[in-house]
Chains A and B, each alone.
Chain A
């Protein structure tokens, strides 16, 4: 991973922006996906109790 990041440091800003875009969008979806699971599990637990 470090080697990949280091190799990108010599690329143009647009290539770096593409890398930030890929990482950023995945990060946002995964983080909100975890929030989704928290809500789903909580809703299931509250229905059971």
Chain B
């Protein structure tokens, strides 16, 4: 008779009976945010459902309790094959690479430096995390939320702090979806109205095709020599981009942008949800990680804007950059670029800085991957 009610007794017979219930609530909130608020629904919905699945009695969908006699569940198998091997984030990067057009960057190459400056949040947050008592590897994994780039966050966290993968992924994707709420107040706080009304001249010219083909190859090779450990990340991103720009693999490019992106995103989300087991997730660390994720996004935005203001000190009046462009160096593509264009238009009707903003935004994609590679290369040197 007891076996019939084992689902209830295994939960309510435990002193920690409230933990799975709270996780159902967390999963429900993520699903609600995905459906009602449309915050990154492609990821938050599967993550939320995965969080519910993995906390059901006996966790047959994930890792069954030791000695229960059950085999690893399908979520555990997906986790072992897709996350532990780092396959899912890399496949997502192939899809992302196939979606990126570096054209706006080729027309305004200087924008690339905003993609570097806006990685400041990664490092600033890492320092804050060590001050709060996290180890260097944990702090680096938390800081990388500031890459504003889900696959990079998952890739780094999986290597340095796999036990924190759940909260880090949730924080990364949640704040990426909240960029329209996070960035505007920071931009307004750090810029004057006059600065936000600066116009930028855009020269319409198309980059030669050979540059578009050579660029992904050159970037991969340079990154490979500077930070060899970043090759899987940058290599898969640039492979996707090469497929797109080659002009002879249209079917593969479309497959990467659509079928591959959709299928891997579907499995990635629910598999990350599998890492949100109550005992691991319901800790103070999770709350601190959520807080520091916000810090990372704020510092990223501030880093890009302040760098733009620094550059303006040395530029003649007619060539000054609109410092809001710096905020687009965050890698939340293309959301950040659109927000900045909207803000520029709100300040002064007809102020078009979209192409510069997108140039800065695609640079952020490069910057975040390189920053991830730097963190992967440098942290093990000191964390021995």
Contact = CB atoms under 8 A, between A and B. Distances in A.
B325 to A, nearest CB: 15
B211 A17 contact: no
Contacts of A23: 374, 378
A23 B383 CA distance: 15
Given A36-B109, A39-B109, A31 B126 contact: no
B109 A9 contact: no
A30 B112 CA distance: 11
B136 A16 contact: yes
A36 B191 CA distance: 26
B378 A31 contact: no
A32 to B, nearest CB: 5
Contacts of A8: 382
B218 interface: yes
A3 interface: no
A43 B223 contact: no
B139 A13 contact: yes
The interface residues of chain A, by DSSP majority, are classed as helix
B18 interface: no
| Chain B interface mostly | helix
A11 to B, nearest CB: 8
B193 interface: no
A32 B370 contact: yes
Given A28-B367, A28-B370, A43-B106, A21 B382 contact: no
A24 B112 contact: no
Interface string A31-48: 111111011101100100
Nearest to B123: A21
A12 B124 CA distance: 16
Contacts of A35: 112, 218-219, 222, 366
Contact of A39 (B106, B226, B377): B106
Contacts of B105: 39
A14 B130 contact: yes
A43 B140 CA distance: 37
B118 to A, nearest CB: 10
Contacts of B214: 38, 42
17 contacts: A5-B382, A13-B139, A16-B382, A17-B127, A18-B127, A19-B378, A20-B374, A20-B382, A24-B378, A25-B123, A27-B226, A31-B223, A32-B113, A33-B112, A34-B222, A43-B207, A46-B210
